[in-house]
Amino acid sequence: MMPGNVYIVHHIDTEGPLYESAEEALLRIERLFGVSFGLRRNIETLEKLKAGRVQDIDSSLSESVCNILKSAEFKKSWEEIDEMLLRILSTNYRKRFCDSLGNSWIYNWHIVDHVGFVTNKRQRHLGYLSIFDHYTKILKDTCSLDKVYWHFHPISLKKEAHFCATSYENSMYELHQSLSRRLIERRWFPKVHRAGFHTERPDSNWFLEQWIPFDVSNQSIDEDVFEQSDNMNHRFGDWYGAPKDWSVYHPDLYDWRKEGHLKRYIARCLNLNCRFRTINEYEIEQAFKKAMHENVYLGVTNHDFREISSEIEKFYNVLQIMSLQYPKIKYIFSDSLDAFRSVIGMSIQEIKRNRVEFELSLKDNCLKVSVINGKIFGAQPYLAIKAKNGEYFHDNMDFGDFPSEYYYTFDYQTLELNEIEQISIASNDSYGNTCIAEIKDQQIKKYWI
C-alpha cells in the first residue's frame, strides 16, 4: 500500500487584542478552579501567584494556577499584535520551518467579528469587518498568500463579550449581518469553519450544513477534559465520541460528534498550547502511523492574542523528531482547503469540471438564480441585500426546480427594487469552489473565490 502524507494545517482563531485586568484574571482563575483565594484581586496577588509565592494554597493548585497565568499573557493592543504579525509573516521567519517538500510555514486565519455585545471588559475590538479588514491589509502588505476563513462567537445570554456561549439561534441576526457584510462589501464567503469556543450544537451543526462545506472543529481526545470545572457535564467544546484517529468525517444530523450522512466534512484540530486537548508527541505519532496507508489531516490551533511563534516552534521540534522515525512519510505545511482536497481524494480535474456556477437574471421585480454547472452546497444559495439606507438583509430564496432554480421577489412584502443598492448571491460547492454574483447599478457581475 502506498504511504500518504501528513498535511500540517495551522488554524488561528483570529480575534484581535485581548486585555485582562489583574482583577479579571484572578476572578477567572478562581472560577476556573472553583475556589476563592480570599486575597485582594490586584496586581500584587497576581504576581505572587505567577511566582508560586502564595503560602496558603496547596502546592498542586499553586502549580496549575501558575502555569495558566504564565500561558495567558495576552496581546492587549493592535501594536502588540502587529509587532508579532510583522515578525511571523515575514519570509525569513516562515523559512525557519521547512516541510518535506522544502516549503515554509503556512497560516490559516479564521477571522471573527466581535458583534452583538453590550459589555466588553476585555476591550475586544468590536464591529463588523474590523478585524477582517485589519488582517486583509496586513496579509496584503506582507505579500502573504495565507487564506482567510470563518470563525464565529455565539453571543452569551447577558451579551458579555468575554464569555463563551453555544447558541447560533440566539445569535442569528449578527451571524447573517456578518456574512452579508463580508459578501456584499468584500466579495467574500466562507469555505472553512472553526467553531467558536471549539463548540458545536445542533443549531450550529444545521447552520453550517446550509452553507459551509469544511469544518475543522473536532477536538475529540483521550483525556478526561470533563474534569476541568469549565468543561464539566459536557459543557462547551464537547467532542465526546467523535473520531480520535485524525480521520475526516461527515457528521450525523442530530449528533455532530457521530459519523453520519450530512454533507460537510469535519477534520480534527488540537490546541497548540492549552490546559487541555493539546497536541503532543503521541497524537503526532498517530498521524504519522495513519499516513502509512493514506493522506492525513493534522490540524493545530491557537489564538492571535497570544504569542504565536513560541507555540509553533515547540510543535515543530516535536514534529521534526517524529518525522525522523517515519522517514517514508512526508509532512506538508498546508492551506486548509488544499489539505481537505488531498485527504478526501479530489482530483484537480474533478474540482474544475464540477465548479459551481450560476447565472442571475432580473425580470421585472423577480430575481432568478439558475445553477448552470456543478451543484451548490446546501439547500439554497446565500442571498444578501444592501439597502440604500445602509441596512443589510439576508433572506430565504423561493425554490423552483430544486436544486438548480431559485427565485426572489422584490416588492412591498420584502424590499422594493428602488430601495436597494446591491444584491449579492454566493454558493460553495462540495469541492470548495465558491461562486459569487452581484447586481449593482443594474449590472450583473460574477466572481469565483
Q: Which residues are at the interface with Zn ion (CB under 5 A)?
A: 13, 196
User: 229 near 32, Cβ under 8 Å?
Assistant: yes
Q: How far is the CB of 253 from Zn ion (least distance, A)?
A: 25
Relative orientation angle of helices 43-50 and 22-33, to the nearest 10 degrees = 50
Reduce the DSSP state of residue 301 to 3 states and report it.
strand
User: 99 near 331, Cβ under 8 Å?
Assistant: yes
Residues in Cβ contact with 59 at an 8 Å cutoff, skipping those fewer than 6 apart: none
Q: How far is the CB of 166 from Zn ion (least distance, A)?
A: 12
- Whichever of 13 and 438 has its CB closer to Zn ion, that residue is 13
- Whichever of 13 and 146 has its CB closer to Zn ion, that residue is 13
Q: How far is the CB of 205 from Zn ion (least distance, A)?
A: 18
330-333 vs 5-14, strand pairing mode: parallel
Reduce the DSSP state of residue 229 to 3 states and report it.
helix
- Whichever of 170 and 422 has its CB closer to Zn ion, that residue is 170
Q: How far is the CB of 242 from Zn ion (least distance, A)?
A: 19
- DSSP-derived letter for residue 154 is P
Q: How far is the CB of 86 from Zn ion (least distance, A)?
A: 23
Q: How far is the CB of 194 from Zn ion (least distance, A)?
A: 8
Residue nearest to Zn ion (CB): 13
Reduce the DSSP state of residue 296 to 3 states and report it.
strand
- Whichever of 205 and 271 has its CB closer to Zn ion, that residue is 271
Q: How far is the CB of 403 from Zn ion (least distance, A)?
A: 32
Gap between the Cα atoms of 315 and 313, Å rounded: 5
> Cis peptide before 403, with omega less than 30 degrees from 0?
yes
Which helix (H) or strand (E) segment is 148 a member of? strand 147-152
- Whichever of 198 and 257 has its CB closer to Zn ion, that residue is 198
CA distances from 293 to 6, 218, 328 (A): 11, 22, 11
- Whichever of 306 and 341 has its CB closer to Zn ion, that residue is 306
Residue 216: CA count within 13 A, CB half-sphere: 31
- Whichever of 272 and 356 has its CB closer to Zn ion, that residue is 272
- Rg over alpha carbons for the chain, rounded to the nearest Å, is 23
